[in-house]
Chains A and B, each alone.
Chain A
Amino acid sequence: MSAVDTGTRTRDVLGASALRPDGIAKVQGTFQFSSDLGGDGVLWGATLRSPHPHARIIRIDVSPAWKIAGVESVITADDVPGQMTYGLIDQDQPVFASDVVRFVGEPIAAVAADHPETCRRALAAIVVEYEVLEPVLDPEAVVAGTAPAIHPNGNVLRHQRILHGDPSVTGDIVVEATYDIGMQDQAFLGLEAALAIPDPGGGGVELHIATQWLHEDRKQIADCLGMAPEQVRLVLAGVGGAFGAREDISLQVHTCLLALRLGRPVRMHYSRAESFLGHVHRHPATIWMRHHATAAGEIVKVEARFVFDGGAYASTSSAVLLNAITHTQGPYRCPNAVVDGWAVRTNHLPCGAMRGFGVVQACFAHESQLDKLAEACGLDPVEIRVRNVMHTGDRMITGQVMQNVAPIERCLRETAALPFPDEPVGGHDGDVMRLPGGAGRTADVGHVYRGIGYAAAMKNLMYSEGFDDYSTARCRLADGVVTLKFATAEVGQGFVTLAPQIARDVLGVDEVVLDRIDTGVGSAGSSSASRQTWMSGGAVNAACIAVRDRLFEHVAARHGVEAASLRIDGIEIVDESGALRLSVADASAGVEFDETREYHHPPTEDLDENGQGNCHTAFAFVAHRAVVDVDPDLGLVKVVQVATAQDVGRVLNPLSVVGQVEGGIAQGLGLAVMEEIVQIDGRIRNASFTDYLLPTMLDMPPVVMSFVEEPEPLAPLGAKGVGEPPTISSTPAIVAAIRDALRQAGREPRLDRVPVRPIDIIGVHERPRT
């Protein structure tokens, strides 16, 4: 890390590196995660899942499970009292499959018993007879219309075109390629877990759940339970990471159903293998792009075709596809565009939200294209990008005008100016751990090449396409102590750190108490789309300002001054004349102000049939540079350093931003060289941390960074969301660096798919078989 001052703290207001209020509990192991909730007499729940990617259910016989001692309940689709299906956008996913199963892992039944081992035996005893059907596994067959429908709603989840400018324009220079992006897993560490406690009499239920969006969960759960939303109360249990995988329903409905049926609390926990089946993943995608540019390297047109495999159910596929195609141009000007996008249903694992939400896939394609353009134009990778950067006021390919601060050139130039690693290949000490392959001791310094790659990205913030996106916060001030209440899911990102900083800033108090995060206040929307700093930050800010206004009126009346002349100075209230100065603690003694506010962002609109419309709310930008060492014969890569300059608007908590940047880059590195869910014939083959490889401390290099601070006038606190951009262009930067290393080794690398595997580097599969 460099160029970042995490500073000395005086008061934990905005701009200070305030520490997490839950930090001590987390390091001491007393913080309660959803999987830590239980207690005497709480039963265990477990789920029976389909072993087939596509099959008709002929018969389900649960009676053998009932005969096992310790089994308290066995439920199937017959036991769902309300709506039989759920889903974030389309309610197309069954609570339990009853007639057809559409992916390996689809829930069919659930049991409750006294011990996890009893549950396991009960699930094994349930008899399900299937008629196995041919799975639809090729997204192109769906696009071509040759695949049979595997769902009553059909197989096309979304088809959207973008036509902008003059489609007949051509460039002096044309580059094109087809790119493939593998299926990535969010791999949060805290597995799915929940505790459902039925109300006495069964008139309602309280669910303690690790989720990203309490109110949306509540709505979907209540529908399936046949209850009114008020009968279902959700409490945020400790969340062990999210990254998009907790936006959809997984075990929520099953746990509530079991608890309500038994009139007893039930807890359900997924195993790691089950978690791979139980939540949505990042969409695997195939993207063709063709860029047209002038001889000087100025982009004049982009053509593209996107095919996203949504898997068996819709989840957020339609929104992910929208994000992907509307980011075809990346952070660059592009006057003309012809884009065609498909998100389709197959019998693969369902896909939906993951950090970056469609833009990760688009960015790998457009940044690989920019490097091709640079080469064709004889420009270096930074120069080609700087020549094309978008500015505030530019029109995007959707016709929408960029209204945000857009310091892309600064991001690129500052990234390029960050220091390079001072160690040569293999390091000064010759420690083999520094070489690709590390402890395998396979690579030899003499055969290792070092490469450098650049990439940049644009990412929309908040929700799109006409969704009324809002957040709610309640602020109470009494005797100098502020209590904040909101339903904003704290998933590790640190909103619980930020919210008190806002209150201290606005109200001049030091003591801020956070109320329980639950559905006892209005919705906060989802902790996704890099939106909570802007949205829930905006709501907390508005509620605090409303309380401050009432406090000022109170002080003004008491002291005979104008409320409008008052302001907060540190922990005091002062008036313009300087005559009045009193502490907020004294001013609020014996009184109580309680205000609730919603923050809505400006409305957006749907795209028309040509993909034109003001569909997005706001944008942030980022650039990455990667330095990698590659052994071209062994196909091994060691990422040596990642540098980044990120457009953050305004840094509200330096330590938190550093954490988001480093953590996001680690996930981008994972997609670049390690992480992929492998499905063969519709069956996942690596549903474990043994076979699904996550970056460890040895894989993750040091990060050097600088924050580009140009406060965003449209953001309530001047700050842009910072969570997603680090994950987006880090992947193509690393791949570009591998290509650079291979070129130095005299190879002609394509590397048009991620993750990059050893065989892609060695090029084995391109050699003729003998």
Chain B
Amino acid sequence: MSEHYTLHVNGVERAVQDAWVGENLLYVLRERLGLMAAKGACEQGECGSCSVLVGGNLVCSCLVLAASAVGEPIVTVEGLAPPGAPSDVQQAFVDCGAVQCGFCTPGLIIAAHDLLDRTPEPTEMQIREELSGNVCRCTGYGRIIEAVQQVAVARRTADAGAAS
């Protein structure tokens, strides 16, 4: 229990003190930094509930040693939008009924943001393929796909409006 290091999380330098070197990023975010949005549902890289961005890449934080993320910008759901002012993806998830128990939701929100940033107009098959690493046991996914599609359309409409 003797590691000291600094993580760059949501634009802020966060010191991690007296940590055990075996701790994964999910544990350190939640238990040492109090960032509880990322969830652990398998700790094996199978469910995506723990998804965060490290160095701009979508990763399962349960599979990343926290100490190995030093020097990389880390983004969690807490860093996407301030409390009470949800992002477009977050609002669409609520509006479309994409949330039931909500345990899968933070991971899906990060993954959907990442998808739409890389692929602004995904086909339905692209959405299914890109988000297939995020398991949801409650919704059957239909409303989640609907939410992502709704954001894609809204962003395109907004872009078109801005361009004209």
Q: Would you give the shortest CB distance from A743 to chain B, in whole angstroms?
A: 28
Q: Are B41 and A190 in contact (CB under 8 A)?
A: yes
Digitize A374-406: 1 where CB-to-B-CB distance is under 8 Å, 0 elsewhere: 000000000000000000000000000000000
Residue A101 interfacial (CB < 8 Å): no
Residue B151 interfacial (CB < 8 Å): no
Digitize A1-42: 1 where CB-to-B-CB distance is under 8 Å, 0 elsewhere: 100001000000000010110111011111111011010000
Q: Are B43 and A271 in contact (CB under 8 A)?
A: yes
Residue B11 interfacial (CB < 8 Å): no
Contacts of A32 in B (CB 8 A): 36
**Closest A residue by C-beta to B103:** A240
Q: Would you give the shortest CB distance from B83 to chain A, in whole angstroms?
A: 6
| C-alpha gap A186/B22 in the complex (Å) | 30
Digitize A649-669: 1 where CB-to-B-CB distance is under 8 Å, 0 elsewhere: 000000110110111111100
- Kindly identify which residue among B39, B44, B96, B109 contacts A688, using a CB–CB cutoff of 8 Å: B44
Residue B9 interfacial (CB < 8 Å): no
| C-alpha gap A698/B131 in the complex (Å) | 9
Q: Specify which of A22, A116, A698 lies most central, judged by the most chain B CB atoms within 10 Å of its CB.
A: A698
Residue B136 interfacial (CB < 8 Å): yes
Q: Is the interface of B mostly helix, strand, loop or mixed?
A: loop
Residue A187 interfacial (CB < 8 Å): yes
Interface size class of B (residues with CB under 8 A): 35 or more
- Pairs A–B under 8 Å by Cβ, sample size 17: A26-B94, A28-B37, A31-B102, A36-B30, A189-B39, A189-B138, A191-B41, A242-B101, A243-B137, A492-B101, A658-B143, A659-B97, A661-B140, A688-B46, A696-B132, A696-B133, A703-B140
- Kindly identify which residue among B1, B78, B138 contacts A492, using a CB–CB cutoff of 8 Å: B138
Q: Are B77 and A29 in contact (CB under 8 A)?
A: yes
Residue A272 interfacial (CB < 8 Å): yes
Q: Are B136 and A30 in contact (CB under 8 A)?
A: no
Given contacts A191-B40, A688-B44, contact A700 B20 (CB under 8 A): no
Residue A602 interfacial (CB < 8 Å): no
Q: Specify which of A189, A240, A439 lies most central, judged by the most chain B CB atoms within 10 Å of its CB.
A: A189
Q: Which chain A residues numbered 431 to 449 have a C-beta less than 8 Å away from chain B?
A: 431, 433-434, 439
Residue B139 interfacial (CB < 8 Å): yes
Residue B47 interfacial (CB < 8 Å): yes
Residue B161 interfacial (CB < 8 Å): no
Q: Are A655 and B40 in contact (CB under 8 A)?
A: no
Q: Are A272 and B42 in contact (CB under 8 A)?
A: yes
Given contacts A32-B36, A271-B43, contact A662 B135 (CB under 8 A): no
Q: Are B78 and A29 in contact (CB under 8 A)?
A: yes
Q: Are B141 and A700 in contact (CB under 8 A)?
A: yes
Q: Would you give the shortest CB distance from B42 to chain A, in whole angstroms?
A: 4
Q: Are A190 and B97 in contact (CB under 8 A)?
A: no
Q: Would you give the shortest CB distance from B17 to chain A, in whole angstroms?
A: 14
Residue A188 interfacial (CB < 8 Å): yes
Residue B157 interfacial (CB < 8 Å): no
Q: Are A30 and B83 in contact (CB under 8 A)?
A: yes
Given contacts A190-B101, A659-B100, A700-B140, contact A29 B46 (CB under 8 A): no
Q: Would you give the shortest CB distance from A426 to chain B, in whole angstroms?
A: 12
Q: Are B86 and A24 in contact (CB under 8 A)?
A: yes
Q: Are B101 and A491 in contact (CB under 8 A)?
A: yes
Residue A680 interfacial (CB < 8 Å): no
Q: Specify which of A241, A655, A702 lies most central, judged by the most chain B CB atoms within 10 Å of its CB.
A: A241
Contacts of A491 in B (CB 8 A): 101
Contacts of A431 in B (CB 8 A): 125
**Closest B residue by C-beta to A700:** B141
| C-alpha gap A238/B105 in the complex (Å) | 13
Q: Are B142 and A658 in contact (CB under 8 A)?
A: yes
Q: Are A190 and B100 in contact (CB under 8 A)?
A: no
| C-alpha gap A433/B77 in the complex (Å) | 30
Q: Which chain B residues numbered 121 to 164 have a C-beta less than 8 Å away from chain A?
A: 125, 127-129, 131-145
Given contacts A688-B46, A694-B135, contact A19 B94 (CB under 8 A): yes
Residue A615 interfacial (CB < 8 Å): no
Q: Which chain A residues numbered 678 to 699 have a C-beta less than 8 Å away from chain B?
A: 688-690, 694-698
Q: Are B100 and A494 in contact (CB under 8 A)?
A: yes
| C-alpha gap A240/B77 in the complex (Å) | 18
Q: Are A698 and B86 in contact (CB under 8 A)?
A: no
Given contacts A189-B101, A689-B42, A689-B46, contact A659 B94 (CB under 8 A): no
**Closest B residue by C-beta to A241:** B101
Residue A493 interfacial (CB < 8 Å): yes
Q: Which chain B residues numbered 16 to 65 have a C-beta less than 8 Å away from chain A?
A: 20, 22, 27, 30-31, 36-44, 46-47, 49
| Residues of A that sit less than 8 Å from B by CB | 1, 6, 17, 19-20, 22-24, 26-33, 35-36, 38, 115-117, 186-191, 238-243, 271-272, 431, 433-434, 439, 491-494, 655-656, 658-659, 661-667, 688-690, 694-698, 700, 702-703
**Closest A residue by C-beta to B82:** A28
Contacts of A702 in B (CB 8 A): 142
**Closest B residue by C-beta to A39:** B34
Residue B3 interfacial (CB < 8 Å): no
Q: Are A689 and B135 in contact (CB under 8 A)?
A: yes
Contacts of B133 in A (CB 8 A): 696
Contacts of A30 in B (CB 8 A): 36-37, 83
Q: Would you give the shortest CB distance from B81 to chain A, in whole angstroms?
A: 7
Q: Would you give the shortest CB distance from A276 to chain B, in whole angstroms?
A: 11
Q: Specify which of A29, A191, A239 lies most central, judged by the most chain B CB atoms within 10 Å of its CB.
A: A29
Q: Are A29 and B106 in contact (CB under 8 A)?
A: yes
Q: Are A689 and B44 in contact (CB under 8 A)?
A: yes
Contacts of A22 in B (CB 8 A): 102
Contacts of B129 in A (CB 8 A): 433, 439, 697-698
- Kindly identify which residue among A24, A492, A493, A688 contacts B84, using a CB–CB cutoff of 8 Å: A24
Q: Are B142 and A703 in contact (CB under 8 A)?
A: yes
- Kindly identify which residue among A6, A27, A38, A690 contacts B105, using a CB–CB cutoff of 8 Å: A27
Contacts of A27 in B (CB 8 A): 77, 86, 89-91, 93-94, 99, 102, 105-106, 109
**Closest B residue by C-beta to A661:** B140
Residue B104 interfacial (CB < 8 Å): yes
Contacts of B1 in A (CB 8 A): 115
Contacts of B78 in A (CB 8 A): 28-29
| C-alpha gap A32/B46 in the complex (Å) | 23
Given contacts A662-B139, A665-B140, contact A28 B77 (CB under 8 A): yes
Q: Are A690 and B137 in contact (CB under 8 A)?
A: no
Shortest beta-carbon contacts, A-B, top 10: A29-B37, A492-B101, A26-B102, A662-B140, A240-B103, A23-B94, A689-B46, A666-B140, A492-B100, A27-B90
Given contacts A28-B83, A700-B141, A703-B142, contact A188 B132 (CB under 8 A): no
Q: Are B143 and A662 in contact (CB under 8 A)?
A: yes
| C-alpha gap A565/B116 in the complex (Å) | 57
Given contacts A187-B137, A433-B129, contact A33 B97 (CB under 8 A): no
Given contacts A188-B101, A272-B41, contact A662 B90 (CB under 8 A): no
- Kindly identify which residue among B81, B91, B103 contacts A189, using a CB–CB cutoff of 8 Å: B103
- Kindly identify which residue among A1, A19, A35, A433 contacts B39, using a CB–CB cutoff of 8 Å: A35
Residue B95 interfacial (CB < 8 Å): yes
Q: Specify which of B27, B30, B77, B139 lies most central, judged by the most chain A CB atoms within 10 Å of its CB.
A: B139
Q: Would you give the shortest CB distance from B106 to chain A, in whole angstroms?
A: 4
- Kindly identify which residue among B97, B105, B134 contacts A697, using a CB–CB cutoff of 8 Å: B134
**Closest A residue by C-beta to B46:** A689
Q: Are B105 and A26 in contact (CB under 8 A)?
A: yes
- Kindly identify which residue among B30, B83, B106, B143 contacts A659, using a CB–CB cutoff of 8 Å: B143
Q: Are B22 and A33 in contact (CB under 8 A)?
A: no
**Closest B residue by C-beta to A36:** B36
Q: Are A24 and B94 in contact (CB under 8 A)?
A: yes
- Kindly identify which residue among B38, B44, B83, B138 contacts A241, using a CB–CB cutoff of 8 Å: B138
Contacts of A31 in B (CB 8 A): 102
**Closest A residue by C-beta to B78:** A29
Q: Are B49 and A663 in contact (CB under 8 A)?
A: no
| 13 additional contacts (CB under 8 A) given A492-B138, A688-B44 | A23-B99, A33-B103, A115-B20, A241-B138, A272-B43, A272-B44, A659-B97, A662-B143, A664-B140, A688-B42, A697-B127, A697-B144, A703-B140
